[in-house]
Structure formats: C-alpha cells, structure tokens
Structure 1
Amino acid sequence: GKGAVMRMGDQDRQAIPAISTGSLGLDIALGIGGLPKGRIVEIYGPESSGKTTLTLSVIAQAQKAGATCAFVDAEHALDPEYAGKLGVNVDDLLVSQPDTGEQALEITDMLVRSNAVDVIIVDSVAALVP
C-alpha cells in the first residue's frame, strides 16, 4: 500500500523519549539522551564489564523520574546494598528471582502486559538458556 516503501528523509523526525543511563558521556553517545523508552535494549559484553552496574544506574535514574522498575534476577546475584549505593531505591524496586529461564520469561511477559512497570531489567539473558 501507500507508504510501504519510502525514503527515510521523507518522514518527519520524531523525538524519542529516553531514560538517562546516569552517564552523561554515554547519554550523548546514544544520541537521544539515554536508552529509548518502550523499546527492548540488549547490553552485551564480557563478564564483569559493568552490564549490571549500568542497568542499576538506569533504574536509579528512572526511579528519580518517578518510574516503577523491575529487576528479573535470573542469575540470583543482585546485591541490594550495591544497588542502593548506585542510587536505586531498593524498597520500591520490584525483584524476581525465578528458578528457571521459562519462569523468568513468563514473569517478564506478565510485567510487560501489565503496563504497570516502566523499566524491566532481565539479568542476564545468558542465564535464561536451559
């Protein structure tokens, strides 16, 4: 139909709402001031490269803006004290520590469908593999 194929320049640019990562340099590098809201973002890197720290920083920034956040801890490695030091309000954070990858995905699906949560972190995707 009409508009099925078009030039990217033909469309008006839309402002994409974002959640700050807590790192000004990274927010600038991402081009929109943080991670895009309403999208799936995968943070990939080797072990101990700061992936969980980055996600906790995103949660802290989102909570400061009034967002409801959830952390699906598939690795059972979330340290509430460390999260608190990064600025996470651990009392308001929804946390799940599922027993299986399937359970983690079911919980994540339920959280998404509820529309009651603004940010959902799954740590880690690698832990979901049977």
Structure 2
Amino acid sequence: MAKKKKEQKEIGKVNDLDEIIEEIREKFGEGAIMRLGEAKRVDVDVIPSGSISLDLALGVGGVPRGRIIEIFGPESSGKTTLALHILANAQKMGGKGAFVDAEHALDPEYAKRLGVDVENLLISQPDTGEDA
C-alpha cells in the first residue's frame, strides 16, 4: 500500500514537471527548455582551429563557421596565433575573414607565415574597445 502511494507521488512529480516545462515553452517558445535527451543535434559547418586537441575538445571539430567567436586568455597565451590559424583555415576553405586588432599589434609577415592571405584580409584597428 505504501509503495503504491510512493509511485503515485513520483508520477505526480513527473506530471508537474511536464506541466512546468510546457508552460515555459508556451511563454518563451520551443527550445527555451528541453530535456537533454530530446535535444536535436545540429550539424554545424566548422573551421578547423589548427589544433587537433582543441578541435576534439570543442566537440564539433573546430569553430563554428559564420559565427562571431571570441578568444580570450592571459597575455602571451597564444590568442593571436590561434586566431590567425583559424583565419588561414577559413580562407583555405574559400571563406573571407576579418581581424579586429584591438592592440594594434598584428604582424602581417607572421600572419603570412601562418598561412593567412593578408592581401584579402579585412582588418580593423579601433582606438578603444567601444569602437571595436
């Protein structure tokens, strides 16, 4: 008898949760909340980073193509080198690239050695972060 009541309570909890999920979906739209097992895998075009380990860690084989990405980290940690490798790979795949050089420190010769087509690279060197 006690087992039956416990089962009914657990079923009630699940139904309550389903109702809450449905309310959230109605209010905020499909995809606002879902069970992880229900998530549809989205195939994304990617650009290899130039680092097999990083591409594996990202889970999709590189950085998503057609999206703005931000690379951050401490000084001298390889941010610019990583960005230039990704940019070179994007260009090799027929894409175009832009580089926001907030530090005014981009070395075109270094970029060229990493495989960047510097002749077709768009560059912005803003004076402040707000201008970027």
Structure 1 and Structure 2 fold alike (TM over 0.5)? yes
Looking at structure 1, the residues matched to 80 and 121 of structure 2 have their Cα atoms a distance apart, in angstroms, of 15
Please state how far the C-alpha of 1:49 moved relative to its aligned partner: 0.8
Task: Give secondary structure in 2 for the equivalent of 1:5.
Answer: coil
How many residues align? The count is 104
* Aligned equivalent of 2:131: 103
The answer to whether 1:25 aligns with 2:49 is no
Unaligned runs of 5+ in 2: 1-25
Tell me whether 42-51 or 79-88 shows the greater mean CA deviation: 42-51
Report 1 or 2 for greater relative contact order, CA contacts < 8 Å, sequence distance ≥ 6: 1
Runs of 4+ residues over 6 Å off in structure 1: none
Q: Report the structure, 1 or 2, having the larger helix content.
A: 2
Matched, 1:52 2:107: no
Equivalent runs, 1:1-130 vs 2, <5 Å: 1=26, 3=30, 4-104=32-132
Gaps of 5+ in 1: 105-130
Shift of 1:11: 2.9
C-alpha deviations, 1:30-83, integer Å up to 9, x for none? 110101234443322211010100000000000000111011111100000000
With the length of structure 2 as denominator, give the TM-score of the two structures.
0.71
Relative to structure 1, is the Cα distance of residues 71 and 40 closer, same or farther in structure 2, using a 3 angstrom cutoff? closer
CA distance in 1, matches of 2:33, 2:58: 27
